[in-house]
Structure 1
Amino acid sequence: MSLPHALLTALVERSCSGSDLAARFDRSIGYFWHATHQQIYRELARLEEAGLIESLPEASTRGRKRAYRVLPAGRNELKAWVAQEDEPAALRDEFMVRLRAEAAVGPTKLDGEIRRRIALHEAKLALYREIERKDFPAEPQDRETALHHLVLRAGVRYEENWLELLNEALIALQKPVGATRSRRGKPAVATARAKQK
């Protein structure tokens, strides 16, 4: 996903000023695609220059605030982007490498970092569940609401998955050091296979 398409999506949902858009972004799409307010304002200028959105001074603010709305070209761009084929994102997470490094050079104090991450994921999960409780008290009956709920459910499952994995990591760290490694530092299974050849 790209920031321009995230902003186009938010503006199709509701035209608003840059500051209002940045605040809305933080409370919705920002949970899934992070961007600073400075990045948002820069991208709004690019989208306007490309003829995908337009800005108009808001009468009530005497020109200090500009409201942005999506033009037909912007809707067409968003529709084309939604329909395009894309490969699933590859897992690229530094923490996975840190787990491998812990196996290679540990024990370290990784358990403290894991507990810190657990607290962060628990807080985010609680937030998502509260949003779900308030915004989706019943099964959605229309397409738009069902899709919004699905995006939120993806966030819930993401946090649940991380909590499960991190708790499993704490259990793994309690296992004895070197129980499955040979004297050369290679896994015992790999060493046994090498001897059979």
Structure 2
Amino acid sequence: MSTPHAILIALLEKPSSGYDLARRFDRAIGYFWHATHQQIYRELGRMVDAGWVSVIEDDAAAATRKKVYCVLPVGRNEVVRWARETPLDLDSRNVFLLKLRADAVIGPLGLANELERLIGENRARLAVYREIEQRDFGGASLTRGQQIQYAILKAGILTQEMWLAWAAEVRPLVDPAAAQ
């Protein structure tokens, strides 16, 4: 996934100012695609130049001096093209797994503290996902769009649960004290 396409998708969900878009990336979207505020503003400028998005001119936006961006048909077509044509990358670049391989080859590298930090971060993220699940998807009747969003959230929940189970198996290998 590329940052411009993540931004286009977010804007297709809801036209937004750069500030509001950055806040959405900080909260929800950022759990699976990270972009800095600077990247977002830079990409918005590029997308305006490319004709993918435009700035909505309305009285409310003019009063606050906010630029509200919306996706133009060319931008929507770009998302469709990207979604259909871009192959998935199976090489997941997980740095901790690479460090673990180094530990296997070189010998103990003292990865226990880093693993514990990652376990804590993954537990915290799982807790956030569970809160979102309760807050947003507790209703009995969900639209198709909500069902898809919930399916994405469930993928995140299952990923966190699987990673935490894996980390519990690895913990004794990187921290011999944990094995006792």
- TM-score normalised to structure 1 length: 0.81
Structure number with greater Rg is 1
Cα distance in 1, alignment partners of residues 120 and 103 from structure 2: 21
Q: Which amino acid in 1 is paired with 2:116? A: R
| Residue matched to 2:146 | 145
Cα distance in 1, alignment partners of residues 142 and 18 from structure 2: 32
Instruction: Indicate the SS of the match to 2:142.
Output: coil
| Residue matched to 1:50 | 50
Distance 1:167 1:140, change over 3 A: farther
**Moved segments of 4+, more than 4 Å:** none
Residue pair 1:54, 1:70 contacting (<8 A) in 2 also: yes
Correspondence 1:73-84 to 2 at 5 A: 73-84=74-85
Correspondence 1:12-31 to 2 at 5 A: 12-31=12-31
Cα distance in 2, alignment partners of residues 32 and 23 from structure 1: 14
Instruction: Indicate the SS of the match to 2:56.
Output: strand
Cα distance in 1, alignment partners of residues 56 and 92 from structure 2: 41
Percent of paired sites with the same residue: 45
Residue pair 2:110, 2:174 contacting (<8 A) in 1 also: no
**1:142 shift after superposition:** 2.5
Alignment length, in residue pairs?
Answer: 176
Cα distance in 2, alignment partners of residues 36 and 17 from structure 1: 15
Cα distance in 1, alignment partners of residues 93 and 86 from structure 2: 21
Instruction: Indicate the SS of the match to 1:62.
Output: helix
1:108 aligns with 2:106: no
Structure that is richer in helix per residue:
2
Q: Structure 1 stretches of 5 or more lacking a match?
A: 176-197
**1:162 shift after superposition:** 1.6
Cα distance in 2, alignment partners of residues 131 and 109 from structure 1: 35
Cα distance in 2, alignment partners of residues 24 and 173 from structure 1: 36
Distance 1:127 1:143, change over 3 A: same
| Residue matched to 2:158 | 157
